Structures are given as C-alpha cells and as structure tokens.
Amino acid sequence: MRDLFDLSGRVALVTGSSRGIGEATARLLAAYGAHVIVSSRKQEACDTVAASIREAGGKASAIAAHQGDSEALEALVSKVEAEAGPIRILVNNAATNPYFGHIADTDMGMLDKTLQVNIRGYFDLSARCAKRMRDTGGGAIVNIASINGVKPAEAQGIYSITKAAVINMTQAFGKECASWGVRVNAVLPGLTQTRFASTLIDNKDQLDGFLSHIPMQRVGQPEEIAPAVLYLASDAASYVTGTTLAVDGGFLS
C-alpha cells in the first residue's frame, strides 16, 4: 500500500518558515520527502533552518522574500522554479500582528501593514502559484489562518479580521481552482507557543483567562500544528478542498 503522506519529488514553498509554525511545518514536510523552500524576510534565518533540515537528511533551500511585496513574491516564485522546479505545495504562513489594543484605536499605518501582509500577500502568492500548478499537473495550497478568524480575540481586532478574510479566501480559491487540480485549504491554529503569541502567553492573567476556554487547558506547540498542514498538502486529503481544520485544543468546539 502506498504511503498517502509521501511527498517525495514535490517542491513545497513555506513562507514565514524561519521559526514557529512555519519552521515546524517545513521540517515535517521535508521529513516526508518534499524539497522544502524555507522563506521569510531575513536570508540568514532562512539559511539556518534550511541547513538544519539538510543535516537531518532532508532537502531544503533558503530564499528570502517579503510577503507584502508583489515584486518580491514574483521573484521568489521564479527563483524557486529555476532552482528546484515547479511548486507543488504552497503553505501561506507568513503573517504580522503589529497592534495589540482596542480596535477603535488601531493606527492606520498598522492597519495597512496588516492587510498588506495577511491578506494581499496570501492572495498574491496563491494566485501566482495556483496558475502555475494548473499548468504543471496540480498542487495544494494550505493557508495558515487562525481561530481568531472565527471568533475575534479581544485587543486583536484587525488581526482577527484579516484571518477571517483568509478563511473566506480559502473557500473562494478552493471553489474556483478545483477544476485545475489545485486544492486549497486552511489550518486554524489555536493558542500556540510561538514568539508571535508571546505577548499573550507571557501575561499570566491573560493566559489564564484564555486557557479557561480551552478544554485541553494548555497551549499548543508548533509541532502539533504542522501535521494538519502535512495532511492537507498530501494525497491523504485528495478529496478535500475549500475547508478549514481547527487545531485548537477544543477552543471552537
């Protein structure tokens, strides 16, 4: 029986993969045979993760790019194709959350930055890769959204709004790209132990309040989110598109 999770021969581009959920995902996809492209804004950080993956016996390259820059994303995709081959798996993980506070006090500059990276960046890269996948035999796109996209978190208004947009974007791309052989799904992480979530996790009062709503009563780890991405990117999910998979310790249940 063939291994439905075997990604051998597939090129997987993972954005925001120099740390956190992105790094854990890159490592797991590589462990299952994919040639992983580690990408984030800083080349040195990408190089470190890619080298570690290769040392562990996996295939990995490092290409830095800014998620919110269209020209940078086009250059990224072109470079991946030239160096590794057609992209078969795209994981949109890079995101930003520069503002933590009352939604009505959101600075418009921070609003623009969050929209640019979390919505425009995901959309731009998805569109570019979906068309290329259509022409090269299909593929899978996995968006990292958030439980905040279903239930907005206090003091994280604009971030929550962008993640709700990612969920709808996933459904729209999933519906319109299905006939191309391109599947598009999203993972909705709950509270996860990353530097991204450190503002909340490091505040005991806020953390205790959040944990009271999580049936498993603990913070998740990046390595617990990555398997959901592996599933959606693999042939095990060959009849799955336009859906979301919450990995949240039961928060949304």
Active site residues: 159
User: Do 93 and 21 meet the contact criterion of CB atoms below 8 Å apart?
Assistant: yes
Q: How far is CA 44 from the centre of its chain?
A: 20
Q: Which residue has the tokens 């439905």?
A: 4
Instruction: Decide: helix, strand or coil at residue 139.
Output: strand
CA distance 24 to 169: 24
Q: In what order do the strands lie in the sheet with 11-15?
A: 59-62, 35-39, 11-15, 87-92, 139-144, 182-189, 244-247
CA distance 10 to 29: 10
CA distance 166 to 67: 14
Rounded to 5 degrees, φ, ψ at 135 are -90, -5
Straight-line distance from the first to the last Cα atom of the chain, in angstroms, rounded to the nearest whole number: 35
Q: How would you label 172-189 residue by residue, b for 16+ Cβ within 10 Å and e otherwise?
A: ebbeebeeeebbbbbbbb
Residues in Cβ contact with 189 at an 8 Å cutoff, skipping those fewer than 6 apart: 21, 144, 146, 147, 220, 225, 247, 248
114: its two tokens: 């969050």
